[in-house]
Structure 1
Amino acid sequence: MSGTLYLVATPIGNLDDMPPRVAATFGAADFIAAEDTRVTLRLLNHLGLKKPMVSYYEHALHHGEAILQRIEAGENCALCSDAGMPCISDPGEQIVREAHERGIRVVPVPGASACVTALAASGQPTAHFVFEGFLPVPKKERRARLAFLQNETRTLIFYEAPHKLRTTLDDLAATFGGGRSVSLCRELTKLHEEIVKTTLAEAVAYYRENDPRGEYVLVLAGADPADTEPDAAPTLEEVVAAARALQAGGMPPAAAAKQAAAGTGFSKGEIYKKMVSEG
């Protein structure tokens, strides 16, 4: 009989946030699949547990097949990331996807998640949001992703490491404008936790003079829906008036009609005929 794959959330910083069910699941599991076995070993030592471990980190995902085979053979596996809910912006998602394909039972053991924790404390709108995780590193891919998000009206959540924060803030300000509201949530639940609601321009200026420290969650306000609505289509009369203004400036009537009609849905001939008939 196949075993079970447990997705076990770990504290995002403060070990006092450890739910009893998490500790119990680690204790009952036959083995643990960890993002980084060194990090998880410290957690198990805190709980007074000793368990066989295997890494499922991105560069060792060939271990995924071995993990799934052990579960199919009847062992129960507790899969965890270094912090927070596993499989969110985390390579463990591949193992979960394959577990479902193979009919393996998947059981979540929930706990804290940095993105939701930051959103709740950010002061930004929480009814609708988009989790983006880490932006792509290659410049071309990053620009494309930010361009795609430019008119997003939902609150946006990003993760960032301290050594990349300045570049990311520069890119966000260039894409969304320096006046866009952002909350920088740093070292959540840890000793130096800090949550600051500001603007992108102010954040850029601050970190130009101060070194970023710790892991960051950036919670960015979405675009104002009024700013993303397309302008109302001009009426025929408005387009004809624009053509007349061009004509008054010295442009020949046919050329004025062509330029005014561009992109409006009205034809050059339609505008020119109206100009002549009312001329």
Structure 2
Amino acid sequence: MEPQKGNLYLIPCTLGDTPPLEVLPLLVKKAVEHINHYVVEHEKNARRFIKSIDSKKIQGDLIFQEINKFTNPEEIPQMLNPCFQGFDVGVLSDAGCPGIADPGASVVQEAHKRGIRVVPLVGPSSILMAMMASGFNGQNFAFNGYLPIDKGERKTTIKRLEKLSIEYDQSQSFIETPYRNNQLLESLCSTLHPQTMICVACDITLPSEYIKTASAGDWKKIKVDLHKRPTLFIIQK
């Protein structure tokens, strides 16, 4: 008789060095306590997070498989093999919720194909938390990932997103590599209509959290250093 299939747990983690149980529910701790098989972005980060949740966890018992943009799609099905041996598997992002702007979504897709139960757990998502705090349209919004690095392409993309915001009353959110945050904010201020609103949500859930919504024109007068700080930008006209 074959063992009952294990479940695939989507385990949120903190968005920075916040004590885990300040932002994560008890159910996350219980999941980490009983799961030893994990699909993660980076093993080192995952081990650190698991230790912060359960300091008594025997690290030698943990089995990790890494998934990132370099992962061969053909490798993904085997990541779920423990489920067919009766073990639960946990998916961990480096920050926030797995499967949201995260390579773990590929494992979730494969789990559905193979009849494995997917269990999403509650935790912080910078995308949703920024939307909550922005004051923008939470009924209709889009996350666009990274904008182009090339200045010309980036300007074109910003104008396109502003147009979408106007046409569909849709909030447009995106991120940037943290060391280019200041340059992106400058591009937004110089490219957008002065009355287009910009929300800057930085270091969400951390002691240094900074969230502010103002017009592009007003942002030109605001001094803030976003360098190397995880930041989410949202615009709406």
Structure-1-length-normalised TM-score: 0.70
Report the AA paired with residue 167 of structure 1.
Q
The question of whether the paired residues in 2 share the 8 Å contact of 1:30 and 1:77 is answered with yes
1:1-279 → structure 2 map (5 Å cutoff)? 1-13=4-16, 14=18, 15=20, 16-46=22-52, 47-48=54-55, 49=57, 50=59, 51-61=62-72, 63-137=75-149, 142=154, 145-149=157-161, 150-152=163-165, 153-204=169-220, 206=222, 210=225, 212-221=227-236, 223=237
SS in 2 for 1:156: strand
Deviations 1:186-206 (A, max 9, x none): 101112111122223443564
Q: 1:216/1:102 Cα in 2 relative to 1: closer, same or farther (>3 Å)? A: same
**Number of positions where the alignment pairs a residue of Structure 1 with one of Structure 2:** 221
Q: After TM superposition, give the deviation of residue 101 of structure 1 in Å.
A: 1.6
Ranked by relative contact order (alpha carbons within 8 Å, sequence separation 6 or more), the top structure is 2
SS in 1 for 2:76: helix
The question of whether the paired residues in 1 share the 8 Å contact of 2:204 and 2:210 is answered with yes
Deviations 1:36-81 (A, max 9, x none): 2111111111121232222112223554232123323332100010
Who is 1:273 aligned against? none
Higher helix share: 1
Deviations 1:1-31 (A, max 9, x none): 4321111111223222121111111122231
Q: 1:23/1:61 Cα in 2 relative to 1: closer, same or farther (>3 Å)? A: farther
Report the AA paired with residue 44 of structure 1.
I
Report the AA paired with residue 4 of structure 1.
N
Q: Which runs of 5+ in 1 are unaligned?
A: 224-279
Q: 1:75/1:203 Cα in 2 relative to 1: closer, same or farther (>3 Å)? A: same
Report the AA paired with residue 106 of structure 1.
V
Structure-2-length-normalised TM-score: 0.81
Identity %: 25
The question of whether the paired residues in 2 share the 8 Å contact of 1:161 and 1:214 is answered with no
The question of whether the paired residues in 1 share the 8 Å contact of 2:181 and 2:228 is answered with no
SS in 1 for 2:184: helix
Q: Which runs of 5+ in 2 are unaligned?
A: none
Separation in structure 1 between the aligned mates of residue 153 and residue 114 of structure 2, nearest angstrom: 33
For the aligned residue pairs, the C-alpha RMSD in angstroms reads: 2.5
More deviation in 151-160 or 86-95? 151-160
